[in-house]
Amino acid sequence: MGKIKISKETCVVVILLSIIISGIIALIMSIVNWTTVYLPPNTKYGVVFDAGSSHTSMFVYTWPADKENDTGIVSQLSMCNVKGNGISSYADNPTSVGDDIMTCLDEATKIIPENQQKETPVLLGATAGMRLLSLQNKSKATRVLEEVTKTIQKYPMDFQGARILTGNEEGSLGWITVNYLLQTFITYSFRGQWIHPDPGVILGALDLGGASTQITFYPTANITDKSTEMSFRLYGFNYEVYTHSYLCFGKDQALKLLLVKVIQMQNSSTITHPCYPTGYTTNISLADLYDSPCVKAPTQDLSGQITVKGSGNPQGCRARLQDIFNFATCGTNDCAFNIYQPAVEGQFYAFSAFFYTLDFLNLTSKQSLGEVNATIHSFCLKDWATLTSSFPKESKGRLVTYCATGLYILTLLVDKYGFDTKTWSSITFAKQAGNADIGWTLGYMLNLTNKIPSEAPVEYIGRTRSLWAAALAFIVLSIVLALVACLIHFSNRNTS
């Protein structure tokens, strides 16, 4: 078989063809639309316990490690209700409080990946129930928090403390939650970008707990009393909000103040209560009635009982509710009885007991103030037998209080905060927004993410990048092989 003869010209042609073919491949690859692919950043987790006056709930939150202007895009992943009452009820048996929260902590460790638990922040925030206990017996409040701390520290997470929130913290963090969930801080546009809506859409927040109530909103005028101002930086913007918390004016404590006022006015071992339905009778221990720092105990013996009979009188009930407030002037037109407050403006979200009470009364569908007032008055006129037969599944302990609580909400919002027939329609009563509960815990987690460093997404050499690498290798290899083949051929010719 004869030898194949390769001329110098043939080698040049081979090299040129290699370059041309490589160039065509490069051109084709350049036409293909490709981008660098990034792996999603690590997902972060956070756990917050809301230790309220009547119960405790645990929330698990999650957010991507890359943040929008240093604030995480947080979502609620799970919620767990701790059995039993609020942690302040463990004042005389503090060692039991830890056992009850362990069930929820166990749930959290099942949800959060094991390799991320050590970096997951955990906080327990106690609200008005513990604020009252601290006023009444600070050492008992401290002991309860110590027992909570011992329990949470047994778990492999980043425990950040168990503490009592101030009223202003509770109110303003609830305000953050409302506005985050309703996307007034930041929203996702149809173009796939995060944008900041107009500040004029910022919502106010109204919270009614068991032991305190809070009002928080973003006034257009300057806040003159700086003790009522809270400042936040969220998503690259600064916010200064008006906020005030009224300890002892939550639903449970207000009804206790109301009952004491009725007892003091009648000064008898058997009294009639205008806010309770006709036909309802109960015996109340004086020791239980005066067990709160919100009510001033009389000097006489508290070992006895008071018999309370309902009279179903909504006008009389409203009058007694007026008596528990201090409507004295605060020396300015901007006043909510004796406390500075700018005039309410804008849209508001009302949650917690505001929602639960009016939802039971079917008054959360934007009814007018006149309709709300008429419906509550009509409910208060129903006797106990009618109520129990109409609502057989409702707890009797709650059922007897709906008249008083409904009228209390009217007194609080209209006579105290200053809503009227025109501004009442600006209030939306809600439990949730989106898929998350409204409360202070989500606001706390959002504020916390400002302090947690963000992480850049990890670059990933995906298939398109790999194709480029392969094409480049093919181009270089083709040229090199052509050159080597020609060099070997001419070297053999010169030696032969």
Query: Which active-site residues does the annotation give?
Result: 170
- Secondary structure of residue 346 in the 3-state scheme: coil
Structural element, H or E, at residue 77: strand 75-82
Residues 428/349, Cβ–Cβ less than 8 Å: yes
- Return the structure tokens found at 5: 């003869």
- Return the structure tokens found at 288: 């239980």
Residues 281/370, Cβ–Cβ less than 8 Å: no
Smallest Cα–Cα separation from 36: which of 465, 494, 489?
465
d(CA 355, CA 164): 24
By CB neighbour count within 10 A (0-12 exposed, 13-18 middle, 19+ buried), where does 257 fall? buried
Pairing of strands 212-217, 204-208: antiparallel
The residue type at 139: S
In DSSP notation, 218-258 reads --SS--S-GGGEEEEEETTEEEEEEEEEEET-SHHHHHHHH
d(CA 175, CA 169): 10
